[in-house]
Amino acid sequence: MAFFGINSKSKKKDKDCGQAEHPKTWWYPITMSGRGVFYGHNYFKAYQYISQVRTVIDKRAKCLAVAVPYILDKDGNEPKSAEEFRRLFKTPNFIQSFSELYVLKEIYRLIYGWSVIYLARAFPGATPFAMFVIPPPLLNFQLSRDYLVYNQKDETNIVNKISLSGTKVEIEFSDLIFFRDSIPDACNPLISESVMMSIFNEYDLAGAINESEKTIVERQGAIGILSKDLNDQIATGLFEDEREMLQQKYKETYGLKMNKDQIIITEMALKWQAMSFPTRDLMLIELGEEAQKRIAGVYDVPYNLLPGGSNSTFSNQHEAIEYLYNANAIPTSKSDAEKFTAAILEKHGLHLKLDYSDLYVFQKNEKERANAMNIAINALNAAFTAGNITQEEWRLEASRYLNIDPNKKLQS
């Protein structure tokens, strides 16, 4: 459970937690509008416009796209009675498949530190007929002033009202599924902070690099200076409006692009001083790679899976992909499946399983395990045939490779 927000109108100073101009007053009625702003840094804008940030977040989030949802009973079977829930998870709403909804949920979580899925119901307590991801900045939470965090076992007396920003639509707390990150907020026991909080220097650097590269390509940087020719005895200085006019005309007309003129024609007594500055000395590529490495490190994405990543051989990429799923995607999906189950399926005796076994890296591992199992079983068969081990010993050793109960008595 998480409640969030910055009360921008509060004048309370908090010397220990955060900046004074943005106090985190979670004990006071607050709003989510504008939550994306952190000390002047906008998380979502960084994701939208900075390629290094978006590349890392998309690589991490899109891992979840291959998760296959299964609706199972307590015995691990797929009952026919769960067909309604299968349709819900196959097409959660009229514009998205489950993989699209699930990836979008994860993108918002990686940007803001939390995300939410809204369960649309015909009436309170009914089986949801659709699921939607609501962008976190659109959610307004009005919290009660009269509650103690550490005395609460549920949301009772915490949330007064939840609404969508810019509308009169109100939402029940029980119709929301929250997905939190693991970044703690030391000043607020209820919320999870964005990972991007720890890398705003890196995405500022990446943004500045992108802007510099664009300037060099579009305007060629500062390639020269037009100045007064001091050797001309009758030349007079430019007035301010003349200088601005000439500068604007140069920007619009002259330059190195094919659709621009290459020669400046003017009656003014001017001279041209070329500026030579090797762009490689700016080290934009190296700085951009370093920023992306740090961003990838914070999000736990192997750098060699990203465009331009070093050591990108097939073997290394295979290991990196396997790590990305085992360390991030699968644990995330396991936790998420438990939340979906608690919110939708548990009262019907069902649970959700998000399966990744179809992924090629795991199929290769399954093949290797199957080969190892065949070798071991054949060796046990040979030992049993030769009379070197008993049937009970065979079953005990084989249970390491096969799903059998070695203590179960065989019928004669």
SS3 letters for the chain?
Answer: CCCCCCCCCCCCCCCCCCCCCCCCCCCCCCCCCCCCEECCEEHHHHHHHCHHHHHHHHHHHHHHHHCEEEEEECCCCCCHHHHHHHHHHHCCECCECHHHHHHHHHHHHHHHCEEEEEEECCCCCCCCCEEEECCHHHEEEEECCCCCHHHCCCCCCCEEEEEECCCCCECCHHHEEEEECCCEECCEEEEECCHHHHHHHHHHHHHHHHHHHHHHHHHCCCCEEEEECCCCCCCCCCCHHHHHHHHHHHHHHECCCCCCECCCCCCCCEEEEECCCCHHHHCHHHHHHHHHHHHHHHCCCCHHHCCCCCCCCHHHHHHHHHHHHHHHHHHHHHHHHHHHHHHHHHHHCEEEEEECCCCHHHHHHHHHHHHHHHHHHHHHHHHHHCCCCCHHHHHHHHCCCCCCCCCCCCCC
Could you tell me if 145 and 152 are in contact, meaning their C-beta atoms sit under 8 angstroms apart?
no
Provide the pLDDT for residue 353: 96
Provide the pLDDT for residue 140: 86
Provide the pLDDT for residue 384: 86
CA quadruple 59, 60, 66, 70: dihedral, nearest 10: -170
Low-confidence ranges of the chain (pLDDT < 70): 1-41, 146-149, 185-191, 215-238, 251, 254-268, 273-282, 308-315, 363-370, 411-412
Provide the pLDDT for residue 403: 76
Distance CA 356, CA 171 (A): 33
Planar angle of CA 25, 27, 28, nearest 5 degrees? 75
Provide the pLDDT for residue 63: 94
- The CA-to-CA distance between both ends of the chain, in Å, stands at 56
Of 380, 400, 401, 402, the C-alpha closest to 391 is 380
The model's pTM? 0.70
C-alpha gyration radius of the chain: 31
Of 149, 198, 182, 186, the C-alpha closest to 17 is 186
Q: Can you give the residue ranges of every domain in the chain?
A: 1-196+297-357, 223-276, 360-398
Distance CA 294, CA 199 (A): 8
Provide the pLDDT for residue 20: 37
Provide the pLDDT for residue 30: 31
List, for residues 25-44, the tens digit of each pLDDT value: 333 223 333 334 433 457 88
List, for residues 360-395, the tens digit of each pLDDT value: 777 665 666 667 778 888 888 888 898 889 888 888
What are residue 213's phi and psi, to 5 degrees? -60, -40
Could you tell me if 313 and 302 are in contact, meaning their C-beta atoms sit under 8 angstroms apart?
no
Cα atoms in the Cβ-side hemisphere of radius 13 Å centred on 82: 23
